[in-house]
Amino acid sequence: MAIIECSNLTKVFRLAHEPRRSVKESLAAMLRPRVYEQFKAIDNVSLSVAPGEFISLIGPNGCGKSTLLKIIAGIYQPTSGELTVRDRISPFLELGVGFNYDLTARENIYVYGSILGLSRRQVNEKFDDIVRFSELERFIDTPLRNFSSGMYVRLAFATAVQSDAPILLFDEVLAVGDERFQRKCFALFEKMKYQEKTIVFVSHTMDSVMRFSDRVILMDRGKKIMEGPPEQVVTAYKANMKT
């Protein structure tokens, strides 16, 4: 049975040309009809992901990959269509979203961990792993505001991957970090595949898409236009981009 199932998902955003954010604007807007522009970010997309599968979503900017990921993550509600997710999800749409610059790395690990659904005890157990993976042993009691962006990302990634959810969503998280760190991330992906985690991966880096995916989905302007083995879809995408 599929672990993630989307059938005929559509997401329409209403782009208001005059947003009403205050009473004055609301009163003024009452006098005239409001103009909306409909924007279909996701257009009738069906997709099913089997447990343990590594799926990549590719496509040009604005094609709806990230919106689709947000719908699967439960952050956005679809306008129409059905979404069934049969297990727990950990979304990594952006790293370190719960981080606070005034807290130390140690405190942030606990906060972020709890946001990802880990209990304090679970974080305690994994604490050493997180610190080792992030290579920030010396800075563990330093406030985050003194961190470089590279250190920040390492800490975030190291904490995020401790999540024990069986479904993981990644949005362009490999675009950060130096080569050595990326290698570590790749090793981790291998491990996750071995652990048979279900992964939905959004990326513009075709090398990593080719390397890990079981299946690739190409999107454009909100529609799913192609689906198949990595090599075939990536080649088609590359050819498409040139024209």
Partner 1 sequence: MRFSLLKELAITDFKLRYKNSVLGYLWSLLKPLAIFGSLYLVFSIFVRFDVPNYSLFLLLGILLWNYFTEATLNGMHALETKSTLLTKINVNKFTIVLASNVTTLLTLVLNLAIFFVILAFVKPEIGWTVLALPLVVANLFMISLGLSLALSVWYVRLRDLSSIWEILLQIGFWVTPIIYPLSMVPDRFLGYIGLNPLHRIIHEGRQLLIELIWPRPSSMLITTAIMLLFLALGYVVFKSKEKNIAEEL
The contact set with partner 1 (CB under 8 A) reads 13, 20-24, 26, 70, 73-77, 89, 91, 93-94, 97-98, 100, 102-103, 107, 110-111, 113-120
Give yes or no for a contact between 71 and 9, defined as CB atoms under 8 angstroms apart: yes
Structure tokens at 30: 């009452």
Minimum Å gap between C-beta 75 and partner 1 is 5
Question: Which is nearer to partner 1, 70 or 154 (by Cβ)?
Answer: 70
Question: Which is nearer to partner 1, 102 or 179 (by Cβ)?
Answer: 102
Question: Which is nearer to partner 1, 22 or 148 (by Cβ)?
Answer: 22
Minimum Å gap between C-beta 54 and partner 1 is 21
Structure tokens at 229: 């083995």
Structure tokens at 56: 């990549």
* Phi-psi group of 27: left, alpha or beta (phi > 0 → left; psi -120 to 50 → alpha; rest → beta): alpha
Minimum Å gap between C-beta 211 and partner 1 is 26
Question: Which is nearer to partner 1, 142 or 240 (by Cβ)?
Answer: 142
Question: Which is nearer to partner 1, 173 or 209 (by Cβ)?
Answer: 173
The C-alpha atoms of residue 231 and residue 57 are separated, in whole angstroms, by 13
Minimum Å gap between C-beta 38 and partner 1 is 14
Give yes or no for a contact between 42 and 68, defined as CB atoms under 8 angstroms apart: yes
Question: Which is nearer to partner 1, 122 or 240 (by Cβ)?
Answer: 122
Minimum Å gap between C-beta 23 and partner 1 is 5
Nearest Cα to Cα of residue 72 among 46, 53, 97: 46
89-92 and 198-202 beta bridge pairing: unpaired
Answer positive or negative: Cα dihedral of 67, 68, 73, 74: positive
**How many alpha carbons fall within 13 Å on the CB side of residue 211?**
11
Minimum Å gap between C-beta 98 and partner 1 is 5
The C-alpha atoms of residue 18 and residue 29 are separated, in whole angstroms, by 8
The C-alpha atoms of residue 145 and residue 149 are separated, in whole angstroms, by 10
